[in-house]
Amino acid sequence: MKLKSEGRNLKNSLFVFPLLASLVSFSSCHLGKVFRYNIIGVDDYKIFSNRTIAPATKKFDFAIAPKNNLGERIQIKADCSPSSGSLDYFIDQSPTLALLIIRNDTILYEKYSKGYTRESYVTTGSLVKSIINLMIGIAVNEGKIKSINDLVIDYLPEMKGRPGFDKLRIESLLNMTSGLKESKNLALPTSSEFKYYYGSNLNRYVRKQKVTDFSGQNFYSHTVTTQLLNTILERVTGKTPSQYLEEKIWAKMGAEYDALWSLDKPEGTEKGFCCFNARPIDFARLGKLVLDRGKTETEQVLPAEWLNRLYNPDTTLPHIIKSKLETPKDDYYFHNFWIDPTESTPRFIKMAGIYGQKLVIFPKEHLIITTFSDRNGLKIRCQEEDIFYQIANQIKSSE
């Protein structure tokens, strides 16, 4: 019996040691982080390494409107929880963390909830893809990218030989029609989306990509698509995306606060598909820059020709999504922005991402609305589009 017991202990030891080794390895890989942290969170910048983007030496200040009780006067009609009520009530009852309404460079409404303040960082998912677009536009204007009709392999020669890359153009990346292989189930811990989010070698992951849909017509919001644009930016500018953003946009628009861009590892690569962390008021300043066609009081920061594409989008592109709006209309995804192109001037130009992060620009009303929510923001998707139209229409009618 003694020998049998010793044999069992030896067998158990042979099993336990590899298991412990695998658990140590597992905890350091992206799968370990998936099980530890789960899905994207609004304060994930605390678990990632970050690159800091400095504020402007001279900030731009919005005017502040006299007390107007706008939060009580604007009424939200909701078709899902929370129930209908005032804008103040809606924010208190919904997962909203911050909501700002700015018109004609004047803050009409600024409210924070759930412990958030003006100084709190809020994070982005896909909203940052619109920022990538603006930087691509600058790189084109500077001649660093000759044309968005260029092939991706002209700038990333290491992708030569990867299936489909011999025909893949930069504009397809901007419009999310690249046809790159997509994850079948985004909720699985083994999905590529989790690997990109929690992984520590984005450049290696990108090099393994291949095109599986060669039509160039089908929309799919793929994480790696914008990471490719991120890599192109770094390659042609010789700077990190954080450095390029700080120099070309953040400082020039008069940002009040710094920003953090999360990396795949210490001193690594920016996550070009997410994880840009800043204050809501500075996102509003970015919205003002787009609203003003890229021009500040002193210079043309964003190329006017590039922004004209947003204000006059190519509506022959594949129809993307039909949104449930107060007045039902169609949204189009164009160059990393969502646009309502049903009028000669788009009713709105929108930067958007998961969990209720929205920066919505109404050009005709000279109106900016920006809002951020926590990870439960998806539960109010049935309201997210409609609420902006309700606010815009009631502000317009109150004139």
Per-residue pLDDT of the chain (399 residues; tens, 9 = 90+): 333 333 334 334 443 434 334 433 444 466 666 556 666 788 999 999 999 999 999 999 999 999 889 999 998 877 655 567 899 988 888 888 999 999 999 999 999 999 999 999 999 999 999 999 999 999 999 999 999 999 999 999 999 999 999 999 999 999 988 988 766 555 566 667 778 888 899 999 999 999 988 877 777 778 889 999 999 999 999 999 999 999 999 999 999 999 999 999 999 999 999 999 999 999 999 999 999 999 999 999 999 999 998 888 776 665 444 433 334 455 678 899 988 866 677 889 999 988 788 999 999 999 999 999 886 553 444 555 678 888 998 987 766
Q: What local confidence, expressed as pLDDT, does residue 318 receive?
A: 56
Cβ neighbourhood burial of 203 (10 Å; 0-12, 13-18, 19+) = middle
Q: What local confidence, expressed as pLDDT, does residue 249 receive?
A: 98
Which amino acid does the sequence have at 200? S
Query: What's the DSSP call for residue 96?
Result: E
d(C-alpha 79, C-alpha 381), whole Å? 10
Q: What local confidence, expressed as pLDDT, does residue 381 receive?
A: 47
d(C-alpha 26, C-alpha 21), whole Å? 8
Q: What local confidence, expressed as pLDDT, does residue 292 receive?
A: 97
**How many Cβ atoms are within 10 Å of 243's Cβ, its own excluded?**
15
d(C-alpha 31, C-alpha 47), whole Å? 15
Q: What local confidence, expressed as pLDDT, does residue 33 receive?
A: 65
- Cβ contact 263:51 at 8 Å: yes
Phi-psi region of 293 (alpha: psi -120 to 50; beta: other; left: phi over 0): left
Q: What local confidence, expressed as pLDDT, does residue 179 receive?
A: 87
The CA angle 200-333-161, to the nearest 5 degrees, is: 50
Helix, strand counts (H, E) of the chain = 13, 14
Q: What local confidence, expressed as pLDDT, does residue 202 receive?
A: 93
Q: What local confidence, expressed as pLDDT, does residue 12 receive?
A: 41
Q: What local confidence, expressed as pLDDT, does residue 367 receive?
A: 97
Selection from 237, 225, 139, 240 nearest residue 181 by Cα: 225
Q: What local confidence, expressed as pLDDT, does residue 14 receive?
A: 40
Which fold would CATH assign to domain 63-118+276-397?
A: Beta-lactamase (3.40.710)
Q: What local confidence, expressed as pLDDT, does residue 30 receive?
A: 65
Q: What local confidence, expressed as pLDDT, does residue 13 receive?
A: 41
Which fold would CATH assign to domain 124-262?
A: Beta-lactamase (3.40.710)
